Structure 1
Amino acid sequence: MNKSVQHKPSPLISVLPLVVLVALLALIISLFGSDSLSGGSQIALLMGMATCVFISMVFYRAPWKIFEQQINKTLGGISVTLLILLTVGMLSGSWMVSGIVPTLIYYGVQILSPQFFLIGACIICALVSLLSGSSWTTIATIGVALLGIGDALGISEAWTAGAIISGAYFGDKMSPLSDTTILASSTTHVDIFEHIRYMMFTTIPAFLITIVIFLVAGIGMDDSVQVQVAQYTEGLASTFNISLWTLLVPVLTGVLIARRLPSLIVLFLSAMMAGATALILQPHILQEIGTPSDLSQVGETAAIVRGLAITYYGATAVDTGYESLNDLVATGGMAGMLNTIWLIICAMCFGAVMVASGMIESITRKVISWIRNRLGLVASTASTGLFLNIATGDQFISIVLTADMFRHVYKKLGYEPRLLSRTCEDSATVTSVLVPWNTCGMTQSTVLGVPTMAYLPYCFFNLLSPLMTIIVAAIGWKIRKNTESAIVQAPTP
């Protein structure tokens, strides 16, 4: 913590910016509803930030320089994340217009049944995320296609999004390629594979319960709620050139993932391949998109090139003859991600000033002082991970701060560092997507087009993971003290 803040605020004072933020968000959501991400939530975050800075500078004489330095440091750390978001916008538009997603939907609605769709979507996303190590990549690609299939089968978008996110975050959490898994293990000095093996004792039970819930929920669905699948297939087939050749792009994307290329590079190359596919198989769609409504004449080639550019950066609309299907195949491109990026920047600024002011440390230190036993230790760690996701708006900051704050406590009480690394993942990693203003919550809500608060009740794996880690701690299963075999002196990133 920056030593320029000589007297840190008390825990009671430190929660005031959070109270202001939550109160303003509640007001804005009640006034704007689903449009709150278009500007209202950003204002709430800036007002919470202003409250924190005002209290610190007026009552604790904190210099503005420490806030400015922390903001610069925090925003610099998310620059790649912002590029990934823009690339995801390119990917979502190009995968749709090129016919990749329509082809997956076309065949998916004919193969999958409503009864087993939810459990199938959850398991598919879990496998893809486990292999790729990225929940974001999984949701932006196969997740978007599965959402369309679920919509065609008459399944609630909230249920489908919950299944997709549950599976994606299970795979992300258990993959040795995942950045959060590497971060949690390295910041606690635990070998990554020992960390993954130890997570199985909490993660596998939570995931098994999750798929049982989706199985039971799916079996309870009636075929009568299924929409006219024939209308969807007819609309897609008459609009897009449905071809299995389009699926070469997902296959090649999988090869790039298997070669362990960075997520940004994989997403960009996949968007480029999808653009080439659109030029070959869907030139009529590109021409329709690229023909200006205010011009009577435009060259065919110019319209196609213009349509491809719009597919990458702007909103696209394709007329399939069916209103619901038109909404499904519409995309926003990079422009559709701008509200999310704006919100992320505001959330990061709020988190930065809360860290610089010492308010985050003040609150968490108070929580740590209440620890009396193993259950209290794990429950406090899990609660801190969730709290930091809410307060800082970023899962990476939450993982690092939680590990830093509790490392000495676990050592003092004689518990293995792998217990700390597992608890960080069971809380900070999986709950980030449940917070509307967190980078994960904002991104997945934007990509899937489903509000965070709508899919939250159905993200069973993400809800069960923190509870499972506390239950296992209460039982004491596989929790030992004074064991050094799990410790590996890995460098902290």
Structure 2
Amino acid sequence: MAIFNYYIILACRLSSEPLRAAGAQVTIEDRQTGVETVNKKGNPLALLPIGVFLALFVGVGVASGDFYVMPAVVGFVIAFAVALCLNPKRKLSDKLAVAARSMGEENIMTMCLIFILAGGFSGAVSAAGGVESTVNLGLSVLPARFAVAGLFVIGCFISLSMGTSMGTIAALAPIAAGISEKTGIEMAICIAAVVCGAMFGDNLSMISDTTIAAARTQGCDMRDKFTENFLIVLPAAVITVGIFLALTWNSSFELREELTFNLWRVLPYLVILVGALVGVNVFVVLLSGTALALVVGIATGAFALAECFQVVAGGIESMYEITVISMLVAGIVGLVREAGGIDWIMGLIRRRVRSERGAEFGVAALVSAVDVATANNTVAIVIAGPIAKEISDEFHVEPKRTASLLDIFASVWQGVIPYGAQLLSAAELTALTPFAIIPYLFYPLLMALSSVGFILLRKRTPR
């Protein structure tokens, strides 16, 4: 309940801040430096840092045939340097202050804390033998042909209850890796099923920050938004299950070893899953799971009492890169926004809206473009929400529908952009690249197609 209240306060605070209309000039005072600056008209060149990162990451990977050649963190450091070159008339110290404030936003710091706690849990449960036991238990009950679809369904339930895609990925990624190793199913398919399931709940959960932000900015009840949203994405979820079943149905994987497991070593994962399903705070869930994993590890002889700190530290250290990347991305977004990149996107889309159906497509395009630019679906909704509200009011779009479209299309892009926290985390936890996972991310694509279908086919009352 605490995290629910926290996100309401965050969404209210952010959504109540006046957004700049595209093309307007607004004078603001830098809260840290006291320097007055003018936000100029929307500027497409402000999106250059994101383009530089994509060109480097994709270009070097394609040229070399190996996407590991360009570490993501190096690409983001270069993009950050390019972002600092924006607004050349501003002092470097002022631009660094803007980046630092963006890095220090509450939702960014919360995400980083989740990374750290998830890493500690992963290190403890892995050292205790929990991953292997959980995988073996699952495969002894569930045939290999159902394993990938099962990962997706479990991910849907966990993310729906926990309200966080990152926590879901952190909990299930090691299990997905274990299933891949045991069955021979391609690792990218297994982890893609986890990411797809994580994005299902991230978009729908009543305690998800995106749901709260979308409903708050549009002034609708969250239950109404949930009902509207669920009906739109349900076909996508059902089809996704079918696709994952079809991918593995005729496969003849042979398990070459006995499936031995220890139920005590599975217990930490059960606590994580049950805690998530009943809606316990994600921080409490991860801390409790870590503590239990340490107790189980010592009790079963997996490691000695003196090694507890080392196994937790090892897991936390494995999350350092993704934590640094998240902060760099936040800093880049702050500089891009300051230079007018977000304003340009908003103005470009807003000028093309002509009808109720066009307004719905405009809202979808608006939040999509902002999410691609910011790599954070909550931030994208908070930024695009007030403009979407104006568009929807003008063309008589129901608030619950606008809120659903905001959340859906922010999640669609957040689930597939290679520099988003979800794919970067999934890749980090499974030693893959985001580009290896993307071809199997069926749910975000189907969610977009289902939403477009609802926009096109929905009967509209003449006004």
| TM-score tier (shorter) | 0.7 to 0.9
Q: Which residue of 2 aligns with 1:13?
A: 45
Displacement of 1:456: 1.2
1:214 pairs with 2:244: yes
1:251 pairs with 2:282: no
Describe the SS at the equivalent of 1:231. coil
Residue of 185, 188, 208 corresponding to 1:158: 188
1:348 pairs with 2:330: yes
Change (3 A) 1:48 1:385: farther
Q: Deviations over 1:420-475 (max 9, x none)?
A: 11111111124213222222222222234332111112111111212221221111
Question: Aligned-pair RMSD on alpha carbons?
Answer: 2.5
The one-letter amino acid of 2:79's match is L
Displacement of 1:196: 0.4
Residue of 107, 123, 128 corresponding to 2:137: 107
Matches of residues 449-460 of structure 1 in structure 2 within 5 Å? 449-460=431-442
1:76 pairs with 2:101: no
Matches of residues 189-200 of structure 1 in structure 2 within 5 Å? 189-200=219-230
Residue of 68, 79, 84 corresponding to 1:45: 79
The one-letter amino acid of 1:414's match is H
1:70 touches 1:356 (CA, 8 Å); kept in 2? no
2:103 touches 2:328 (CA, 8 Å); kept in 1? no
Displacement of 1:64: 5.7
Change (3 A) 1:427 1:76: same
In the alignment, the residues of structure 2 paired with residue 209 and residue 258 of structure 1 have an alpha-carbon distance, to the nearest angstrom, of: 23
Q: Which residue of 2 aligns with 1:33?
A: 67
Q: Which residue of 2 aligns with 1:378?
A: 360
The one-letter amino acid of 2:268's match is V
Larger Rg: 1
Residue of 123, 126, 129 corresponding to 2:159: 129
Q: Deviations over 1:266-299 (max 9, x none)?
A: 1112111111110111x3x42xxxxxxxxxxxxx
Change (3 A) 1:9 1:63: farther
Residue of 22, 25, 39 corresponding to 2:54: 22
2:412 touches 2:447 (CA, 8 Å); kept in 1? yes
Displacement of 1:67: 6.2
Displacement of 1:155: 0.7
Q: Which residue of 2 aligns with 1:309?
A: 309
Describe the SS at the equivalent of 1:230. coil
Matches of residues 32-431 of structure 1 in structure 2 within 5 Å? 33-37=67-71, 39-51=73-85, 53=86, 56-58=87-89, 65=94, 68-69=97-98, 71-77=100-106, 78-219=108-249, 221-223=250-252, 226-227=253-254, 229-231=255-257, 233=259, 237=260, 242-257=261-276, 260-281=279-300, 283=301, 285-286=302-303, 304-314=304-314, 333-431=315-413
Aligned residues: 428
Change (3 A) 1:313 1:159: same
2:360 touches 2:392 (CA, 8 Å); kept in 1? no
In the alignment, the residues of structure 2 paired with residue 121 and residue 466 of structure 1 have an alpha-carbon distance, to the nearest angstrom, of: 21
- Deviates most, 141-150 or 5-14: 5-14
TM-score (norm 1): 0.80
The one-letter amino acid of 2:211's match is T
Displacement of 1:264: 1.7
Displacement of 1:403: 1.1
1:374 touches 1:473 (CA, 8 Å); kept in 2? no
Q: Deviations over 1:3-37 (max 9, x none)?
A: 34546245443444443333233334345622533
Percent of pairs with identical residues: 20
Q: Deviations over 1:228-262 (max 9, x none)?
A: x23364xxx5xxxx311223323333454355432
1:426 touches 1:466 (CA, 8 Å); kept in 2? yes
Q: Deviations over 1:385-433 (max 9, x none)?
A: 2322221122211111121222111111111111211111111124213
In the alignment, the residues of structure 2 paired with residue 433 and residue 36 of structure 1 have an alpha-carbon distance, to the nearest angstrom, of: 22
Q: Deviations over 1:79-116 (max 9, x none)?
A: 12111101111111111121221111122233332322
Structure 2 unmatched ranges of 5 or more: 1-19, 21-25, 29-36
1:467 pairs with 2:437: no
In the alignment, the residues of structure 1 paired with residue 374 and residue 211 of structure 2 have an alpha-carbon distance, to the nearest angstrom, of: 19
In the alignment, the residues of structure 1 paired with residue 456 and residue 363 of structure 2 have an alpha-carbon distance, to the nearest angstrom, of: 14
TM-score (norm 2): 0.85
In the alignment, the residues of structure 2 paired with residue 48 and residue 379 of structure 1 have an alpha-carbon distance, to the nearest angstrom, of: 32
The one-letter amino acid of 2:272's match is T
2:99 touches 2:332 (CA, 8 Å); kept in 1? no
Q: Which residue of 1 aligns with 2:27?
A: 3
Displacement of 1:357: 2.0
In the alignment, the residues of structure 1 paired with residue 150 and residue 55 of structure 2 have an alpha-carbon distance, to the nearest angstrom, of: 39
Describe the SS at the equivalent of 1:13. helix
The one-letter amino acid of 1:476's match is R
Describe the SS at the equivalent of 1:3. strand
